[in-house]
Structure 1
Amino acid sequence: MIAIDLGSNTIRAVKYDCATNEKLDEFERIIKTADRLVETGGITDEAIERIIEGVLDIKKRFGEDKIKAVATEALRSAKNKEYVLEKIKQQTGVEFEIISAYEEAQYTAIAVESCLGKCGYENERFFLVDIGGGSTELILKNKDNVISESYKLGIVTFTQKYKTPDAIKLAVKKQTKVFKDFIDLVFSTYKKPKIFAASSGTPTSIAALKKGMNYHTYDPEKVNGTVVTLDDLDYWGEKLMKMEMKKREELVGIGRGDLIITGIYIFREIFKLTKYKECVVCDDGVREGVAVSECRMENG
């Protein structure tokens, strides 16, 4: 089966074999779904065209198969969401479902639970952060329970609203203070888990850079299970800031050069608020969670 995750910055897809529970192929492209969303309140025609092109390329690459396609914060927020979904369906034949923030958290938790287990980490209890283009999800996985909170603080929307690195840094510092209430509540109610995990573009980019990879040599299997620290964020944040945009984008991907700095600012604040010393990074996210969930239903 094919699972597609239409995020606020990227479209990611995976081809999965439900019989063997194996990932057969994967696809990722930066399409900036949320570009100018803050300014216009909707998804632009240019972004819709990029989405359609991405979906058609996924179908061409993966071939015919059952497709489960989900969309997250950018579509949840867009005033023209019905028009966007209809346009995508007309042009590609693929029907996207806009999932809730809680469903998004559940799918991410399923994927990261599997990733942690494969990498030899304790995976029944963990604290997880997913820094997206339009929102940031904080998730506590406690055995069979998933407790989560979604905040409309994403790397695309933040970057486009506040423009300069200094303004973004200050805004992140002020607005991420709301994370503290949720963190304090779940840590006092369920006890702070030993494992701190992260999924999404910023953590995976830092993990890849730490391993000597760039956007073109990126290997998700090498990223899965990589440990990053606050020192890593400070080191790469400073190094990337000093680079020209072209060089920066060679490392993290075209269209991500400014976004990675915002993501690092958000990630740093979460590190400080949770007081964790290290974080286990997983490339696996919503698309893998959707695939695993669909296969579980198919296999009964």
Structure 2
Amino acid sequence: MNMVQQPPSANIRQPAGIAPRPPAMHRRFMRAPLYAAIDLGTHNCRLLIARAGEHGLRVIDSFSRAVRLGEGLHHSGQLADAAMERTLTALQACVARMGLYDLHGHRAIATEACRRAANGMEFIGRVLHETGLDISVISAREEAELALAACTSLLQGGRAGTSRGLLFDIGGGSTEIAWARIDREAGRHDLSGYVSLPVGIMTLAERHGADIFTDQGYHGVVSEISDVLRGFDDVHCIAREIARQNVMLLGTSGTVTTLASLALGQDRYDRASIDGSALSVPRALSMIDTLRAGGLEGLVRNPIIGAERARYILPGCAIFEAIVTTWPMPEVTVADRGLRDGLLLRMIGDRRRQAAPATAPPSFSLYNRLEHQVSP
């Protein structure tokens, strides 16, 4: 009988109570530095703590709270006192959680609510004074870049033959649309153009109120947004590329992930089965019709939506419907990732470039740094 000779280590048993050492590659990633990213949006405050993993980010901890920072902003032009207090409490929780880890670096950003509010920068100063957290108010362009960066692996892993990516991010106060050129051979993508629509789930909910639950009100919003999108299409000829089957459509937001979860019949949201999944557009539109027919009470009773989000799901659906009817495609790739992921990948990528020898070519294994030159 031929017997395979085992290496000496194969016959060594671990003492009781001591776990076996992980493989060398896993140990390397376990030792990788930790980073934290905070995304302060118009509706949510989110924290993500992660390190570089074998196939992207290895998430260590996360936090998310609906703070509704932009509540009342549409009518007053100011951040409301109650909204700022809720947000400060959430940010203090983020800082406390970050303090539990030995972080190599962190970055915190704020988006549309702080960009638009007359007292937005005053609030940012108050956050620094009370929490020590230095928050950068980023531009709409950087929002689009970070959303694209977060979806790098999805863009690179898309259907062969597509060289264009159309990404949309439905936020609380604005919606970002990014038009990208994909170069899979080089392992990169470039931002060709973007548009930031001053409408999100909170702004539409406040502007239209109960009207969004009527046929006339809902379709009026869809039509209004579609008009703006057609102007963007005229500049970039997106519909022409779609006709050539040359475009990958990606959606990242709570609206899109919720529709994907409902389409899968989930009783409880499961990120692992949502991120990177393909959502049939006809199926999604049918789901929207069902949600609209159930009214506000039906949305409150839905376990995936619930009372806290019931007012905001139809405004998000109206934005989604405007996008997928302006640019009709059979499916949208769903991304349960966002600006935090993009920030973390950017920090990891910056560290790798700083550590690499000057003569070494740039690595695009985790993060593709976007070109800041907008190409035609």
State TM-score, norm by structure 1. Answer: 0.90
2:41/2:112 contact within 8 Å kept = yes
1:238 aligns with 2:289: yes
Q: Which residue of 2 aligns with 1:10?
A: 44
Matching of residues 94-133 of structure 1 within 5 Å: 94-117=133-156, 125-133=164-172
Q: Which residue of 2 aligns with 1:172?
A: 222
Distance 2:199 2:227 in 1: 11
1:233/1:264 contact within 8 Å kept = no
* CA offset digits 1:144-164 (Å, max 9, x no partner): 321211110211101101112
Distance 1:124 1:97 in 2: 33
Q: 1:182 to 1:76 in 2, by over 3 A?
A: same
Distance 2:143 2:220 in 1: 28
State TM-score, norm by structure 2. Answer: 0.73
* CA offset digits 1:18-45 (Å, max 9, x no partner): 4764222222222111111101101111
1:41 aligns with 2:77: yes
1:181 pairs with one of 222, 227, 231: 231
Q: Which residue of 2 aligns with 1:54?
A: 90
Distance 1:201 1:161 in 2: 20
- The sequence identity of aligned pairs, in percent, is 27
- Comparing 138-147 with 273-282, greater Cα deviation is found at 138-147
The letter of the residue matching 2:86 is R
Gaps of 5+ in 2: 1-34, 183-188, 354-376
1:138/1:148 contact within 8 Å kept = yes
Query: RMSD of aligned C-alpha atoms?
Result: 2.3
Distance 1:95 1:153 in 2: 27
2:63 pairs with one of 15, 18, 27: 27
Q: Which residue of 1 aligns with 2:322?
A: 269
* CA offset digits 1:131-177 (Å, max 9, x no partner): 11111111111133212111102111011011122324313312431
Q: Which residue of 2 aligns with 1:256?
A: 309
Query: Could you tell me how far 1:222 is from its partner in structure 2?
Result: 1.6
- Comparing 18-27 with 105-114, greater Cα deviation is found at 18-27
Q: Which residue of 2 aligns with 1:160?
A: 206
The letter of the residue matching 2:190 is N
SS of equivalent to 1:251: coil
Q: Based on CA coordinates, which of the two structures has the bigger radius of gyration?
A: 2
Q: Which residue of 1 aligns with 2:196?
A: 150
Q: Which residue of 2 aligns with 1:289?
A: 342
Query: Could you tell me how far 1:110 is from its partner in structure 2?
Result: 0.6
Q: Which residue of 1 aligns with 2:277?
A: 226
Distance 2:155 2:145 in 1: 15
* CA offset digits 1:194-221 (Å, max 9, x no partner): 311100111011112222335xx32322
Q: Which has the higher contact order (CA 8 A, sep 6+)?
A: 1
Distance 2:53 2:207 in 1: 45
Q: Which residue of 2 aligns with 1:84?
A: 123
* CA offset digits 1:60-114 (Å, max 9, x no partner): 3342433200111111101001221112222221111000000000000011122
1:48/1:88 contact within 8 Å kept = no
Distance 1:234 1:226 in 2: 17
Q: Which residue of 1 aligns with 2:251?
A: 198
Distance 2:169 2:73 in 1: 20
Distance 1:117 1:278 in 2: 17
The letter of the residue matching 1:233 is A
SS of equivalent to 1:14: strand
Distance 1:186 1:151 in 2: 16
Query: Could you tell me how far 1:183 is from its partner in structure 2?
Result: 2.2
Q: 1:73 to 1:190 in 2, by over 3 A?
A: farther
Of Structure 1 and Structure 2, the greater helix share is in: 1
